[in-house]
Amino acid sequence: MHEGTITAASAGNGQGTEITFQLPCEAELPALTQAAATQPAGKHVRILIVEDNLDAAESLRTLLELSGYDVTVAFTGLSGVEAARTVRPDIVLCDIGLPEMDGFAVARALRHTPETAAARLIAVTGYAANDDRRQTREAGFDVHLVKPVDPEVLLGHLAA
């Protein structure tokens, strides 16, 4: 998934094993402060983040608020659906592996609720298999992004 390699080598029985992991790295990651505000001028865009990992949720909130978005966070699937009915978000960023109600069920619930049926649903998940992508489409997600998400890629999808 990260385009790396793993090798294992041993000098023989009883000699131990050497495992080597190699991952490519970028020369320099873009600073978040370089990300231009992508919110369309004059438009108030509401985003709901549904994420059970507190650090991931708060990092996303910070990035999006710095980019000019109005952000609400929910930490379970059920509280995400409840928040969506109140907030009526334009965009929902939703993890798949959530307590109480997984992200697939959240997407189906939002698609079947008149107040949220037209929201743009973006899965932000560690699930990266082709079957996971198929399930997100079937549940009603518009986009499937795999964690860790490049901030520029995310902001590009929000601006679309």
pTM: 0.76
Distance separating alpha carbons of residues 66 and 151, to the nearest angstrom: 12
For 127-157, what is each residue's pLDDT tens digit? 989 999 999 999 999 999 999 999 999 999 9
End-to-end CA distance of the chain: 25
What are the DSSP calls for 53-121, one per residue? Answer: -HHHHHHHHHHHHHTT-EEEEESSHHHHHHHHHHH--SEEEE-SS-SSS-HHHHHHHHHTSTTTTTSEE
What's the topology of domain 39-159? Rossmann fold (3.40.50)
| Tens-place pLDDT, residues 5-50 | 888 888 999 999 998 888 877 655 555 444 444 455 446 899 999 9
